[in-house]
C-alpha cells in the first residue's frame, strides 16, 4: 500500500534515520525520537501540510515477510479509522511502505510528560485526579475495543499527559500487530513485566480483557504509588502475576471501597472474570461523581486552595481536569438512571443496529468474537464472506461510535466467555489478529 507522491530519490532508510531523507517523498525526517523492538520512531515534517508528525519505521524483516505485510495492510485502515474516534488517542494518519517495501506508520506527534515519569517518584496521586485521568484514558481504550482493536501494551510510558492536563494514549499504531503470531516470529520484544496480563505471559491469544488488566494495574499504581506486583527481577514479577494476589489497596492508602473492589476484580487471573471496560468505567464514574460527606465538603471549602496547589505541584502540569467531549459523553452514558438528567441537546450513548434495524431494547447475554471493524461497509462484508467460506458463522453489525458509522464483523454466539475465547484462539491460529470477545452484542 503506497501513499502520496514518490518523486524523492529512492533511498532505503536505516534505523539511524538520516536527517533530511524522505519517506515516500512526503515525510521529511528531521530527527530521531527513539528505537525499539518495533522499529525506529522519527520526528518528521509532512511536506504536504507543513505539520510536524512522527514516523515509525517498522522492523526491516517485515519487508521480507509477505504474510505479515498483508496483515498490516488489512489492519492499518481500521487503526487509522479508530484513532480518529476519541480525542485521547494519538491519531494515526497513514500506513504505507518505503520504496524498498519496509512498512511505516505516520502519526500525530504529541508533546507532554509521560505518566511513567510522573509515577517515578513512587508517590500516590490524589484520588479525584486519578479518577478523572482514568476515565479519560479508559474512554480511549474502550473506543479501541468498540472498533475491534486491542491495544495490547497499556503501560504508563505509553500515556502522555499534555500541558493542559489532557491525556493521550500512544502506540495506537501497533494495536493488534504486536501480538500476531507472524509478528512475534520477527520481533523479539520483552515488554515491562509490571503490566502484563497472565494470558500474555503464557503467550495465549490476547483479547480486550488483557487491556482491562493492564488498565487496572496502572490505576493501582496511580493510587498506591507502586505497581500491584513488583520484585527484584523480571521473572519474579511475572511469577507473581501468575500465582499471587496483589496487596489490598487499603493497606497502602485509603481509597474508596468501590474503586478497590473494581480494581481487584479487573486484576483477576482469569480473563472471563474481569469486567468489560464499560462496566469498569461505570464503577469509576459513579465514585468520581459521588457527593463527599459533609465533613469532607467542609474541609474542601476551607482547604480547597491549598489542595489545588498541592495537586498542581505533584502533577507539574496542574490539576488533571479532563474536559474532552468523549469523557463527558462517557459520563452521561454511564450515569445511574435515578439521577441522570440529560439535556435534549446532549449526544446520546452509542447504539448498535443490525443493518437498518432499530437499536436493540436490551443486551443479549451471549458472547461473540469481533474480528474487525471498518468505516466502509463493503470491506466488512468482504471479511464476512471470507470468514463464511471457512465455515464460521459471521455477520456484520452497524454501530454509531463517536458520531461515525462503523461496521463490525462478528463470529458466532457463545454461551460463555471461555467458549468465545476458545473460538478467538482458533481464529488467531488462522492468521486473524483483530480479535475482541464481546458480550451481549
Match 509478528 to its residue by C-alpha cell.
183
Please give the grid coordinates belonging to residue 294: 459533609
- Supply the mean pLDDT for the chain: 77
Q: Which contacts (CB < 8 Å, 24+ apart) does range 6-11 have?
A: 6/99, 10/99, 10/100, 11/99
Give the tens place of pLDDT for each residue, 181-231: 666 666 767 889 999 999 999 988 889 999 999 999 999 999 999 999 999
Please give the grid coordinates belonging to residue 269: 487471573
Sheet holding 367-374, edge to edge: 352-353, 394-401, 404-414, 367-374, 436-439
Give the C-alpha separation, 29 to 45, whole Å: 7
Q: Provide the pLDDT for residue 431.
A: 62
| Average pLDDT, integer, range 394-406 | 77
Q: 43 near 32, Cβ under 8 Å?
A: yes
pLDDT at 438 over 80: no
Q: Provide the pLDDT for residue 435.
A: 66
- Give me the domains of the chain, ranges plus CATH numbers: 22-108 (3.30.200.20), 113-338 (1.10.510.10), 352-439 (3.30.70.1070)
Distances in Å between the alpha carbon of 280 and those of 51, 52, 145, 287, 356? 37, 36, 13, 11, 30
| Average pLDDT, integer, range 92-97 | 90
Give the tens place of pLDDT for each residue, 14-61: 555 568 889 888 999 999 998 887 888 999 999 999 999 999 988 877
Give the C-alpha separation, 278 to 352, whole Å: 15
Which residues lie below 8 Å from residue 246, measured CB to CB, with a gap of 6+?
Answer: 220, 228, 229, 264, 267
Give the tens place of pLDDT for each residue, 128-179: 999 999 999 999 999 999 888 899 999 999 999 999 989 999 999 988 677 6
Q: Provide the pLDDT for residue 415.
A: 82
Give the C-alpha separation, 42 to 45, whole Å: 10
**For residue 260, which of 295, 241, 287, 297 has the smallest C-alpha distance?**
287
pLDDT at 92 over 90: yes
The dihedral over CA atoms of 197, 198, 200, 202, expressed in degrees to the nearest 10, equals 170
Give the tens place of pLDDT for each residue, 347-371: 333 333 333 333 333 344 578 888 8
**For residue 213, which of 275, 130, 148, 145 has the smallest C-alpha distance?**
275
More confident residue, 366 or 269: 269
Amino acid at each position: 500500500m503506497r501513499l502520496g507522491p514518490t518523486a524523492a530519490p529512492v533511498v532505503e532508510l536505516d534505523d539511524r534515520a538520516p536527517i533530511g531523507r524522505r519517506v515516500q517523498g512526503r515525510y521529511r525526517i528531521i530527527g530521531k525520537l527513539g528505537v525499539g523492538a518495533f522499529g525506529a520512531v522519527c520526528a518528521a515534517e509532512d511536506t504536504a501540510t507543513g505539520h510536524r508528525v512522527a514516523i515509525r519505521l517498522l522492523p526491516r524483516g517485515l519487508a521480507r515477510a509477505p504474510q505479515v505485510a498483508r496483515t498490516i495492510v488489512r489492519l492499518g485502515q481500521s487503526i487509522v479509522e479508530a484513532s480518529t474516534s476519541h480525542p485521547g488517542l494519538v491519531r494515526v494518519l497513514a500506513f504505507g511502505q518505503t520504496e524498498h517495501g519496509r512498512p511505516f506508520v505516520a502519526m500525530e506527534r504529541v508533546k507532554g510528560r509521560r505518566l511513567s515519569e510522573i509515577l517515578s517518584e513512587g508517590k500516590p496521586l490524589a484520588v479525584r485526579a486519578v479518577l478523572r485521568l482514568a476515565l479519560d484514558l479508559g474512554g480511549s481504550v474502550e473506543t479501541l475495543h468498540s472498533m475491534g482493536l486491542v491495544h495490547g501494551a497499556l503501560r504508563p510510558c505509553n500515556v502522555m499527559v499534555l500541558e493542559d492536563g489532557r491525556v493521550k494514549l500512544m502506540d495506537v499504531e501497533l494495536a493488534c500487530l504486536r501480538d500476531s503470531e507472524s509478528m512475534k516470529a520477527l520481533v523479539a520484544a520483552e515488554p515491562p513485566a509490571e503490566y502484563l496480563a497472565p494470558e500474555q505471559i503464557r503467550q495465549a491469544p490476547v483479547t480486550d480483557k488483557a487491556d482491562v488488566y493492564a488498565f487496572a494495574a496502572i490505576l493501582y499504581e496511580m493510587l498506591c504509588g507502586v505497581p500491584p506486583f513488583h520484585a527484584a527481577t523480571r521473572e519474579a514479577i511475572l511469577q507473581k502475576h501468575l500465582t499471587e494476589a496483589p496487596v489490598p489497596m487499603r493497606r497502602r492508602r485509603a481509597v474508596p471501597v468501590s474503586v478497590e473492589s473494581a480494581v481487584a476484580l479487573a486484576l483477576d487471573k482469569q480473563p472471563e472474570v474481569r469486567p468489560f471496560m464499560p462496566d469498569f468505567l461505570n464503577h469509576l464514574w459513579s465514585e468520581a461523581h459521588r457527593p463527599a460527606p459533609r465533613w469532607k465538603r467542609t474541609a474542601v471549602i476551607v482547604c480547597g486552595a491549598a489542595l489545588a496547589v498541592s495537586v498542581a505541584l505533584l502533577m507539574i502540569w496542574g490539576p488533571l481536569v479532563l474536559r474532552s467531549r468523549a469523557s463527558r459523553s462517557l459520563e452521561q452514558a454511564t450515569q445511574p438512571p435515578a439521577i441522570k438528567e440529560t439535556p435534549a441537546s446532549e449526544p446520546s450513548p452509542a447504539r448498535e443496529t443490525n443493518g437498518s434495524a432499530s437499536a436493540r431494547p436490551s443486551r443479549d447475554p451471549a458472547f461473540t468474537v469481533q474480528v474487525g471493524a471498518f468505516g466502509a461497509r463493503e470491506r466488512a462484508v468482504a471479511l464476512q464472506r471470507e470468514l463464511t467460506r471457512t465455515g464460521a458463522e459471521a455477520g456484520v453489525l452497524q454501530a454509531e461510535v463517536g458520531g461515525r458509522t462503523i461496521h463490525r464483523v462478528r463470529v458466532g454466539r457463545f454461551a460463555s466467555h471461555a467458549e468465545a475465547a476458545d473460538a478467538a484462539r482458533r481464529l488467531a491460529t488462522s492468521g486473524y489478529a483483530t480479535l475482541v470477545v464481546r458480550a451481549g452484542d
